[in-house]
Structure 1
């Protein structure tokens, strides 16, 4: 899905997310960013411990595999939207 001119969001998920992060309550954004980092750290630990994989290598494989670009783009956009919602719901 192409989001750059999305009429519902008024821009791409990334641009809307950044608008929200730069204008929302700093404490709310800080809390949400801390939770994102904890989530990423937990996911890395799961991959390392449960799967015995080299996280850095696996991430690079996904980032530079053209056949996975669309899936990666969709997941990134989905996460931008998810975290936008979390920040906005705490900012009301």
Structure 2
């Protein structure tokens, strides 16, 4: 998994916006089929991770564990979200060039 920490030094100046805003700008530029396929791959990845974690914890407990982890690690989670937005934006851009 890539880390794009160096790009976040000035969050409001990254390519003219935040990683989140740039991702959504790019989604608006790709065909609905590409956006849908990429979103489906994100959901499939989440489903696989959730299934793996549910082998250790039941669903209700897992939700609580995740919420506590997000609360306790808000800064690192926020940085990871930005990296993921950049990664998925890059995947969309790559699909545009196909």
TM-score normalized by structure 2? 0.80
RMSD (CA atoms): 1.6
- Structure of higher RCO (CA pairs closer than 8 Å, 6+ residues apart): 2
Matches within 5 A, 1:5-20: 5-7=12-14, 9-20=15-26
The answer as to whether partners of 1:3 and 1:12 remain within 8 angstroms in 2 is: no
Cα distance in 1, alignment partners of residues 23 and 33 from structure 2: 16
SS at match of 2:34: helix
Structure (1/2) with the larger helix percentage: 2
Matches within 5 A, 1:54-65: 54-65=61-72
Cα deviation, residue 64, structure 1: 2.2
In the alignment, is residue 29 of structure 1 matched against residue 35 of structure 2? Answer: yes
Gaps of 5+ in 2: 1-7
Cα deviation, residue 25, structure 1: 1.4
Distance 1:15 1:3, change over 3 A: farther
Cα deviation, residue 3, structure 1: 4.8
Cα distance in 2, alignment partners of residues 3 and 62 from structure 1: 26
Cα distance in 2, alignment partners of residues 45 and 62 from structure 1: 18
Aligned length: 88
Gaps of 5+ in 1: none
